[in-house]
């Protein structure tokens, strides 16, 4: 069996605002709008997948700017050049709450109790912890915030030819 990934459905406080955000920043194409189970909804095609926004009057947004380290739930997009993507999206009104420079500073800092903020204990073959530490895989990120504190993570990934784990290796910023 083949199970291609086609959609992410998420609750939001305003389906129209969420739809407009994706159209403005990422050139989404609106496929459907209407009501689902008596609540406004929209379906857009963006970044190779459909996103379904279902308006929920009881929606409670996650922590917002100033608490971006709590972005457990997020959507990740791959870009060829993080600097170019940040500049292009900021020109369209994107608000970045975490930049590559801040990520590097956080990585150098210690978490609570002196623990590292990120510690990798397993790496799937063909990579090894030694190859990871040597820099064979580099993953730089930036995070912007959308409506309802929807975190969107941009990822510039440099991975070795023997992995190619992340989709979008051919992406263009």
pLDDT in tens, 123-150: 999 999 999 989 999 989 999 999 999 9
Q: Where in the chain is the domain with CATH 3.10.180.10?
A: 1-59
pTM of the model: 0.86
Q: Are 85 and 154 in contact (CB under 8 A)?
A: yes
Residue 138, CA distances (Å) to 129, 134, 167 in order: 13, 10, 15
Task: Return the CATH fold of 1-59.
Answer: 2,3-Dihydroxybiphenyl 1,2-Dioxygenase; domain 1 (3.10.180)
DSSP 37: T
Q: Which residues of 155-166 are buried (b: 16+ CB within 10 A; e: fewer)?
A: bbbeeeeebeee
List the chain residues with pLDDT less than 50.
Answer: 172-173
Task: Select from 21, 36, 139, 131 the least CA-distant residue to 82.
Answer: 139
pLDDT at 150: 93
């Amino acid at each position: 069996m083949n199970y291609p990934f086609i959609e992410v459905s998420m609750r939001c406080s305003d389906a129209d605002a969420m739809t407009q955000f994706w159209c403005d920043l990422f050139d989404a194409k609106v496929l459907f709008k209407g009501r689902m189970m008596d609540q406004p909804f929209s379906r857009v095609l963006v970044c190779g997948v459909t996103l379904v926004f279902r308006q929920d009057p009881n929606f409670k947004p996650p922590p917002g700017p100033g608490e971006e380290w709590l972005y457990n739930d997020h959507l990740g997009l791959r870009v060829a050049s993080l600097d170019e993507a940040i500049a292009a999206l900021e020109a369209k009104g994107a608000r970045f709450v975490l930049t590559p420079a801040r990520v590097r500073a956080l990585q150098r800092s210690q978490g609570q109790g002196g623990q590292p903020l990120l510690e990798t204990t397993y790496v799937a073959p063909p990579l090894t912890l030694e190859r990871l530490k040597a820099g064979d895989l580099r993953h730089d990120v930036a995070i912007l915030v959308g409506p309802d504190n929807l975190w969107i993570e941009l990822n510039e990934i440099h991975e070795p030819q023997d992995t190619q784990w992340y989709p979008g290796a051919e992406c263009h910023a």
